[in-house]
Amino acid sequence: MPNITYIHPDGSREVLDVPVGTSVMRAAILNSVDGIVAECGGEMMCATCHVYVEEAQMPLTPPQSDDEKAMLEFTASERKPNSRLSCQLAVTPEMDGLVVYLPESQV
C-alpha cells in the first residue's frame, strides 16, 4: 500500500498507508490528521483540504482540473505553485512516498 507523509507546520510528521484510489484528503480524515478540514467532503467546494505537495513530486500527481484551479483561489493560506486540493489527489501506486505539507490554516 502506498505511504503518504503529512508534515505539519511545526515539522512533525505522520505517515499513513493509503489504499490505492483513496484520496490524500480522505486518508487524513479517516486517520484524524489535524490540518485537513475538508468541510465539503471532497466536492471541491471548500478549499479546506489544501496541501502543498513536495515540489519534486509534483509530476506524480494528476493534472489540475479547471475547477480545482478555480477553487484554489479560496485557500486560507497562501496559494503556491505546488498547492493542491488533497481531495483531488487519488492515490496511485506511483505516489508511494509522496510528501505533502499542511498549511498554517485551512479556514
Residues that bind ligand FES (CB under 6 A): 25, 38-40, 42, 44-49, 71, 85, 87
CA distance 54 to 67: 22
CA distance 60 to 24: 13
Q: What residue has cell string 479546506?
A: 48
Of 88 and 95, nearer to ligand FES (C-beta) is 88
Max Cα separation, the chain? 32
**Cβ 18 to ligand FES, closest distance in Å?**
16
Q: Which of 64, 67, 21 is nearest to 40 (CA)?
A: 67
Of 41 and 97, nearer to ligand FES (C-beta) is 41
- Residue closest to ligand FES (Cβ): 87
Residues found in the chain:
107
Of 7 and 106, nearer to ligand FES (C-beta) is 106
Of 40 and 90, nearer to ligand FES (C-beta) is 40
Judge whether 64 and 16 are in contact, CB under 8 Å. Answer: no
**Cβ 47 to ligand FES, closest distance in Å?**
5
**Cβ 66 to ligand FES, closest distance in Å?**
14
